[in-house]
Amino acid sequence: MIVPILAILMVFGIPLTAIISHTWLKAKKMDAEKGLGQADMQLLQALKQENEELRNRIENIETILSDVDLDLLRIKGGTDKTQDKFLKS
> Could you list the residue range(s) of the whole structural domain that residue 28 is in?
1-35
Instruction: Assess whether 55 and 89 both reside in one domain.
Output: yes
Instruction: Assess whether 88 and 60 both reside in one domain.
Output: yes
Is 54 domain-assigned?
yes
Count the domains in the chain. Answer: 2
Instruction: Assess whether 24 and 57 both reside in one domain.
Output: no
Q: What is the pLDDT along the chain (89 residues), one digit of tens a residue?
A: 788 888 888 888 888 999 999 999 999 888 877 877 788 889 999 999 999 999 999 999 988 877 776 667 777 665 555 555 555 55
Is 41 domain-assigned?
no
DSSP string, 22-87: HHHHHHHHHHHHT---HHHHHHHHHHHHHHHHHHHHHHHHHHHHHHHHHHHHHHHT--HHHHHHHH
Instruction: Assess whether 55 and 28 both reside in one domain.
Output: no
